[in-house]
Structure 1
Amino acid sequence: MTTTSQVRVTHIGGPTALIEVGGWRLLTDPTFDPPGRRYDFGWGTSSTKTTGPSMTPADLGPIDAVLLTHDHHGDNLDDLGRAMLPDAGSVLTTESGARRIGGNARGLAPWATTTLQAEGRPTIEVTATPCRHGPPLSGPIVGDVVGFALRWDGQRHGQLWISGDTVLFQGTHEVADRLRIGTALLHLGGVRFPITGPLRYTMTARDAVQLCQALRPHTVIPVHYEGWRHFRQNRDAAEREFAAAAPDIHRSIRWLEVGVGTEIPG
């Protein structure tokens, strides 16, 4: 059985990251459109992209699987990202998203599991984890979202988890209760929209600190925290929150240089 503890993560920008492990090349939430366009998110909400990606789809090479937390918001799947989905080996996403995408898409409900298998590579068990992309009872408005926990033989510190766009709620605490997380890619930014005032739709760094107190991960990689006008907490503000956290949590934070592959303890 093939095992590995070596993981390489390239933060391409926004929620988009390339995860390389044991010969697998996995891509999260493909967003490759150039900046400047305004995107409608529905129900009176919209935002403008202010920063482009560090790489193009042509720069990436082949992708074995796309881990798509949700397909219906342009800051998680834009036009150029959508165009590359048919060329990926598979697309793992929400059940409703898989119905919309069709083709090579596999839908997963929260806590459902599937596997990625190929000769000469470690089998990766992928578990969809719950997300709530907004305040209580906002599900019918914001739509379905999932995170992904990845497990393979040889992991030293625990599973690799992509939180997806979510606030803190019972489902994120269930992740801490049910899984041992070694590396967490946390979607931050403290998203708010003028039409809904103080209501938030993703975690702030303070929320992330609270979650990490339960998760106790070895490595925390912030993603999806700037590059759009609807993000309300940029890196500088998040760093201040992390600096005030307990030393073990502060030490776990890894800000990746965008566009540069970084070796992460598995």
Structure 2
Amino acid sequence: MLTTHRKQQIIQILTQEGQVVAKDLSQSMNVSEDTIRRDLRELAREGLLQRVHGGALPASPAVADFAGREQLRHEGKIAIGIAAAAMIQPGQVAILDGGTTSREIARHLPLDLKATIVTHSPTIALELVNHGGVEVILIGGRFFKHSVVAVGASAVEAISKIHADIFFMGVTGVHPKVGLTTGDYEEAAVKRALSRASAETVVLASAEKLNAASAYEVVGLADINGIIVERSVDEALVEPYAKRGITITRA
């Protein structure tokens, strides 16, 4: 079998089954595991999958920088933002992650809301300038330009002093086997700290992030309480999370 044809088959199996196992591919294609691992490495370099121990998972397409993602302001993200904004109650301390979906939360908070919003994203803070009743706590640190957020040890230290009611987490991958992932090591650490600082963690998951994975784990599924998805998402994609007792909100 030609290399190109073999790679096409790997991607087809990955799309259909949500994962591939190197040993199984080796047997079904009658080639060595070394050959399959080489194929997986090359496909990973092309951004077509995310390698894991023993095989691979679908790669998240949600890896563009903030400016690129801002150009993709589609109705699903807006709907998720509206649903999340409605969950924030007067008097609460709520954490908003960085990212374009979190920005939609800030844009749809009622102007008369009285609450405290904690964020490590200056773009989120700026969206709340005209919310007179909202106190904004902006976490500082090293400026990570790709996502327009603060990261690093100083950010994690500041977050450890906060006890919030709810955290709305943005990620690039939500997968039933590997949990919540993102594409940067330090950003993953900050998201993890924000989750630990909150009584409840709700994940913002537009359709392209479901059943996908990135390189760095944030938290496992046991550490989250809810996932907000688009109303049109196939039931099969959210069923594994609902079975684990995670609240699924369709926006």
TM range (shorter): 0.3 to 0.5
Which structure has the larger Rg over C-alpha atoms?
2
Which structure has more RCO (C-alpha within 8 Å, separation ≥ 6)? 1
TM-score under structure 1 normalisation? 0.38
- Structure with the larger strand share: 1
